[in-house]
Structure 1
Amino acid sequence: MTLDPIYIALGACVGFIVGLTGVGGGSLMTPALVLLFGIHPATAVGTDLLYAAVTKGVGSLVHGARRNVDLRVVGLLALGSVPTAAITLLSLSQLGPRSGQAAKVITCALGATLLITAVSLVFRRKLMTMRLAEPERSADRSAALTILTGAVIGALVTLSSVGAGAIGVTALLLLYPSSSASRIVGTDIAHAVPLTLVAGAGHWLTGSVDPSMLLSLVTGSVPAIVVASYLAPRLPEVGLRYLLALVLAIAGGKLVVA
């Protein structure tokens, strides 16, 4: 395997944005590979899923060491997401992962998920205000909704590699408003690891992963995330979030109408 400087640069750009905003890995990486580099949607999704498994695996260790992971919630999310990921992978294999039909399904799912992600970034605070005004849910109801949320995210992530970040965090904030933001983020990242690993492994088995591209992307992103993490507290998070939402909405709209 050889390192490609173009993909290293892409990994660095995306990694820098992730380090600044906390979201945008799959939301930016997959559409960039599809729209800018002409990579087949299945290969873009499969490669990005394993890229996410590596980067979020490191992140989950850090959050775990700081006790920012709710293992019960992670288990409930995985109970919904992992089986759904397996079912989605099976459905894609029936279509033929590199067929034109599968490419169309993945492209449409990617576009729709990007639009949902953009909306969740813009209206997250308003949704939280509305949720805090509601009565607290029972533990059983919260558990059922968490499993259902995991199932939806499992399907979206497997099809598009997008959804485990901004959508997952927004959903958890609404389900568990009393939890701290750092615990929500840590729990979401920890859940993304088994989900992206299972989904990425499934794409690998169907030949939808480019190992050289994967290595180049990781090589560029890891140092960029570290640098951006130090700069993030000095930059306006709200402005960055709205800018990211605009970029995702444009990319999502272009993919949907493609």
Structure 2
Amino acid sequence: MELWWAYLILGGVVGFFAGLLGVGGGGIMVPVLTSLFIVTGLAPGQQVHLALATSMAAIIVTAFASARSHHQHQAVLWPVVWRMSPGIVVGTLAAAMLASKVSSYYLALFFCIFMGYVALQLLLNIKPKANRTLPGAVATAAVGVGIGGISALVAIGGGSLTVPFLTWCNVKVQQAIGTSAALGLPIALSGTLGYALSGELSAGQHSARLPWGCVGYVYLPAVLLISVVSYFTAPLGVKLAHRLPVAVLKKIFAVLLLSLSAKMVHSVFVLPH
């Protein structure tokens, strides 16, 4: 906890971008937390798992604050949220439970590859053409399983997947972002539960001791400090979404994602831990 101030700053940045761009902030939190955990020597060999789980838990407050703000702007399609949520919960919970079986190195590689895809989307402003309508309940739930599973493995709120899907299905961009923000809440809740359970089971099976303050892989001190600040900065991002040059900010955010992902690769594969 000697770096408590870093968690507070991280929470401010994450909350702002979550509200502004409809993302959960995992793209920023995971590499930063991984580096912080490695530098401080927290949970040797399990830093990536802790970073993913802690990021997912911190997204709960961010997603709630962002979803509430988007709801106040009447930008959340709640019928879509209810249709996608069951699949999202199943996919997220299952992937989070399975993550404990995967090596930190493979998790880090998957995270960086996915963030490269997200950054490419943002830099090239890739948007799917709206050429269809939302599928039926079963198909929508199946899409939710995929979105939830990937979101759990990279600890994101699902915005980089949900927004393009909804846009492709003729949902207006502002409503797609608002609906994605609302769907970030079941992703964060089920992902946190999955990582907490898988961490406790893994520790019991391998007699590995998790650090003080952990519930499974969720490191509560970092979650609390990040959440305290992100709760207030997420609504600020929502308010400024219609006033700031979002297109430019997306490109800056993409470069930030690439830089942090590269730093994460260096931390996991080069630094001793």
Q: Higher relative contact order by CA 8 Å / sep ≥ 6: 1 or 2?
A: 1
Q: How does 1:82-121 map to 2 (within 5 A)?
A: 82-93=89-100, 95=101, 101-121=102-122
Distance in 2, matches of 1:90 and 1:232, equals 35
Distance in 2, matches of 1:61 and 1:232, equals 15
Q: How does 1:144-183 map to 2 (within 5 A)?
A: 145-162=139-156, 164-174=158-168, 176-177=169-170, 179-183=171-175
Q: Partner residue of 1:48?
A: 55
Per the alignment, do residues 246 and 5 of structure 1 end up closer, same or farther by CA in structure 2, a change over 3 Å counting?
closer
Q: Which letter maps to 2:218?
A: V
Deviations 1:79-118 (A, max 9, x none): 322222232233234x2xxxxx531232122112211211
How large is the RMSD of aligned CA atoms in angstroms? 2.8
Q: Partner residue of 1:185?
A: 177
Q: Is the 8 A contact 2:65 2:231 kept in 1?
A: no
Q: Which letter maps to 1:43?
A: L
Q: Which letter maps to 1:63?
A: H
Length-normalised TM-score, structure 1: 0.80
Q: Which letter maps to 2:85?
A: A
Q: Partner residue of 2:253?
A: 244
Q: Is the 8 A contact 1:81 1:152 kept in 2?
A: yes
Q: How does 1:1-258 map to 2 (within 5 A)?
A: 4-23=4-23, 25-35=25-35, 37-38=37-38, 40-93=47-100, 95=101, 101-124=102-125, 126-128=126-128, 131-132=129-130, 134=131, 136-137=132-133, 139-140=135-136, 143=137, 145-162=139-156, 164-174=158-168, 176-177=169-170, 179-205=171-197, 206=199, 207-253=216-262, 255=264, 258=269
Q: Is the 8 A contact 1:11 1:218 kept in 2?
A: yes
Distance in 1, matches of 2:139 and 2:121, equals 18
Unpaired stretches in structure 1, ≥5 consecutive residues? 96-100
* Offset, 1:231: 4.3
Per the alignment, do residues 199 and 18 of structure 1 end up closer, same or farther by CA in structure 2, a change over 3 Å counting?
closer
Per the alignment, do residues 72 and 17 of structure 1 end up closer, same or farther by CA in structure 2, a change over 3 Å counting?
closer
Distance in 1, matches of 2:24 and 2:86, equals 25
| Percent identity (aligned) | 26
Distance in 1, matches of 2:23 and 2:150, equals 16
Q: Which letter maps to 1:153?
A: I
Q: Is the 8 A contact 1:110 1:162 kept in 2?
A: no
Distance in 2, matches of 1:240 and 1:46, equals 27
Q: Is the 8 A contact 1:113 1:252 kept in 2?
A: no
Per the alignment, do residues 137 and 8 of structure 1 end up closer, same or farther by CA in structure 2, a change over 3 Å counting?
closer
Larger helix fraction of residues: 1
Length-normalised TM-score, structure 2: 0.76
Unpaired stretches in structure 2, ≥5 consecutive residues? 200-215
SS in 1 for 2:127: helix
Q: Which letter maps to 1:241?
A: K
Deviations 1:176-202 (A, max 9, x none): 22x222221221111111121011122
Q: Which letter maps to 1:155?
A: G
Per the alignment, do residues 64 and 12 of structure 1 end up closer, same or farther by CA in structure 2, a change over 3 Å counting?
closer
Q: Is the 8 A contact 1:110 1:255 kept in 2?
A: no
For structure 1, which segment, 56-65 or 182-191, has the greater mean C-alpha deviation from structure 2 after superposition? Answer: 56-65
Q: Is the 8 A contact 1:115 1:253 kept in 2?
A: no
Per the alignment, do residues 137 and 6 of structure 1 end up closer, same or farther by CA in structure 2, a change over 3 Å counting?
closer
